[in-house]
Amino acid sequence: MRSLFSFSISASSLLCFALALSAQDTRKVTEPHIPAACITLNANIAADHGVIASEDEQRLDTERIQHAMDNCAAGKAVVLRATGRKNVFLTGPIALRPGVTLVADANTALVASRDPRIYDLAPGSCGIVSEHGQDASRSFWAMAQRAAASWAWAPLMAGAAPNFWGRM
């Protein structure tokens, strides 16, 4: 009886081990990569000690970043690059496109403008919540369906997280 009990314990342990092995993930996972650039944009603003000069607060890069995103083919990247002391891209809302990667290169910061008016859906609406509970302003990021952003593992200034997504 004792040998039958030992055999059943051993057999059930072996069966559990075999089931655990067969439940392993068999997908081939590869390292992520940054796609080839369709365009590289150079920063126009310097932030001495992390502070953007007041005269630079209205020098938005929104239009040139959006133009580059809109004209880049799927599978390619728009690269934001620092040049010398100029390492900041100051922008308002940006619409990301499916298949196009936005890359903030090393030592480069993508910073949201502090001007609430550029986020208005209607004049003076930024920060106002509608009666239906919806925000009346645009998000910093607006993602088209199936769009994504990638970062060149560079820290962003002003505490912005690289996964702060909004809606269109």
Least confident of 1-5, 84-88, 133-137: 1-5
pLDDT for 1 beyond 70: no
* Cβ burial, residue 7 (10 Å; 0-12/13-18/19+): exposed
pLDDT for 8 beyond 90: no
* pLDDT (tens digit per residue) in 10-48: 556 665 665 555 567 788 888 878 899 999 999 999 988
Query: What are the start-end ranges of the E strands in 57-114?
Result: 77-81, 86-91, 94-96, 101-104, 109-112
Reduced to 3 states, what is the DSSP secondary structure of residue 12? helix
DSSP 8-class letter at 122: S
Q: Which two tokens stand for residue 25?
A: 């993930």
* pLDDT (tens digit per residue) in 94-148: 888 888 999 999 889 999 888 888 877 777 766 667 676 666 566 665 545 445 4
Q: How far apart are CA 142 and CA 59, in angstroms?
A: 21
CA 92, chain centre distance (Å):
15
At residue 59, the pLDDT reads 92
At residue 157, the pLDDT reads 34
